[in-house]
Structure 1
């Protein structure tokens, strides 16, 4: 084993350890107290980012709950190094934001296009001219501006622009550049982010983590825990036992009889794929879904950039999620390169033999929780044997190149769905198709299954069709 492979899992375990996280938080709090500083939460918004609009709607409730100082920063551009396909990402984000808004009783149009570029410029300059105002003034204005922008209410936006001053264009460009640089210097790259005490939190999805931290610090103005809305929806902590949206025996029998196909696009190098794996398998078993595994090469092995800031945020965010879900995580040995290729090479034979689940669970846990270097024969042999498979038979598959055709086919199918990252889950039902990106969107699949039950078509056979479309 090389020195790098020896030390990498140990360093990753140290970085992702809950103990390390708590120690760093204590250090940040000590520095804050020593400087007699308030609790400052910095928020980074972009007007054409759907998640920024959702966040703006929740922040008033957040500020009513916690005694914190809010500092708003506007940014306006994509970083090509972190967003290789901005058009695809924007299209998916609009669909996902609409779905998330329905779930959390927030405003977002069910169907919309990208907002007009001129409107975006005016909205950005309008908000930038007022970020120094008190949140009680700024946030309602921001909600009106972004609501008009996303719903295409040009006259309403024009009225707001005429009523309130805009930051002059040259000044706005300088300020946007400064904000983008400050975001990068703090170690991040995307909008709808909150930064507090050295940690990042993405939009309303990760806001509960920040709320729990502030609650522990005693900054809450009220005794009860923070909730995104008055009636928090269930299942936000993942599935525990039988906590599924549909559990009635009759309804389950109806769904199971359909044998609906669920495609799972994943990468051996994706921590979020690992976090999704067990829950996707359990979900498929509960609903009687025909689970189809579709591995793809990691982004960097497909020529897509993944800068250090992005890798670091994903690792630390995945560690928080793993702790919440009770999934072992932290002793990580990066499989990029030969490790991924070897895992991919064995997969077609494993899948053909009907052992894909055991194989994937064992390999993924080895990579992300046990520091297993799958680029070596000895480690791969051990993991394959642990999964109950015959190494002597599978070992011959390492020489095969059939996996390359599989990887290409899966990548093309993923691109046809309008996405490039993983994990992605694609469910085909009689009432439509549901495509979600992320291990924290399994609830959307359950919503789609519940829709099947409410449709007269629920007794019809699954549509099937071209699942790669």
Structure 2
């Protein structure tokens, strides 16, 4: 029996990106379906979040995500430009957010097609692996998406024609994310039980093994 989990994911979250290799390995090794469900980052979801958080919050995220990437051997650099338009001195978040709206809606569209994990893996690398400067320029995203079987221009066109459809998907994701019992990303949810963070995947596997998680058969 194929087990299924939800993965609540933000395109700005370094730990969401760092969870992808282990998630893909899980899907390759086990009879498991992962429904990646994009949500907006806390900067958009919770107005004023960074101004209320400890001054150590951002510094620790940078430190910890960098060493996790080094430990796991994952190519890593914070995206340039930041997917969230934010003044990092004042922590003010701009009213207009063209990057994160586009990325999250694209993920929502891929989710509707049942292929959001493959899509996100393809484009997240362009943002986070340090191989390009200006991930939003040129055809970097388009070429990455094409390799995963997506037509980025067609996706952008469909979203522009009906943005509300994809906003509704995102809103439903955020509602279910909150209902799972956690607010952070990445959060994996199995049978209504949340597992927050890329460092909880082993615990997630242990729980699923108790519910019959089976390895994939060769061939």
TM-score by length of 1: 0.38
Give the number of the structure whose alpha-carbon radius of gyration is greater.
1
What secondary structure does 1:328 align onto? coil
What secondary structure does 1:294 align onto? strand
Q: What is aligned with 1:114? A: none
Q: What is aligned with 2:210? A: 451
Residues paired across the two proteins, number? 193
List alignment gaps of at least 5 residues for structure 2.
Answer: 85-96, 214-219
What secondary structure does 2:205 align onto? helix
Q: What is aligned with 1:330? A: 77
Q: What is aligned with 2:67? A: 320
Q: What is aligned with 1:441? A: 200
Alignment of 1:276-425 (within 5 A): 276-304=19-47, 305-306=49-50, 307=53, 309-333=56-80, 334-336=82-84, 337-370=97-130, 371=132, 373-376=134-137, 378-399=139-160, 400-401=162-163, 402-425=165-188
What secondary structure does 1:340 align onto? helix
Q: What is aligned with 1:9? A: none
Q: CA deviation at 1:387?
A: 3.3
- Please give the alpha-carbon distance, in whole angstroms, between the structure 2 residues aligned to 1:310 and 1:375: 27
Q: CA deviation at 1:318?
A: 0.5
- Please give the alpha-carbon distance, in whole angstroms, between the structure 1 residues aligned to 2:136 and 2:70: 27
Q: Deviations over 1:259-295 (max 9, x none)?
A: 1111100100000000101211221332211211111
Q: CA deviation at 1:425?
A: 0.4
TM-score by length of 2: 0.78
Identify if the C-alpha distance between structure 1 residues 408 and 448 changes in structure 2 by more than 3 Å, giving closer, same or farther: same
What secondary structure does 2:79 align onto? coil
What secondary structure does 2:194 align onto? strand
Q: Deviations over 1:105-135 (max 9, x none)?
A: xxxxxxxxxxxxxxxxxxxxxxxxxxxxxxx
Q: CA deviation at 1:378?
A: 4.1
What secondary structure does 1:436 align onto? strand
Identify if the C-alpha distance between structure 1 residues 435 and 331 changes in structure 2 by more than 3 Å, giving closer, same or farther: closer
Is 1:434–1:445's contact at 8 Å kept on the other side of the alignment? no
Q: CA deviation at 1:354?
A: 4.6
- Aligned Cα root-mean-square deviation (Å): 2.3
- Please give the alpha-carbon distance, in whole angstroms, between the structure 2 residues aligned to 1:271 and 1:331: 8
More off after superposition, 409-418 vs 362-371: 362-371
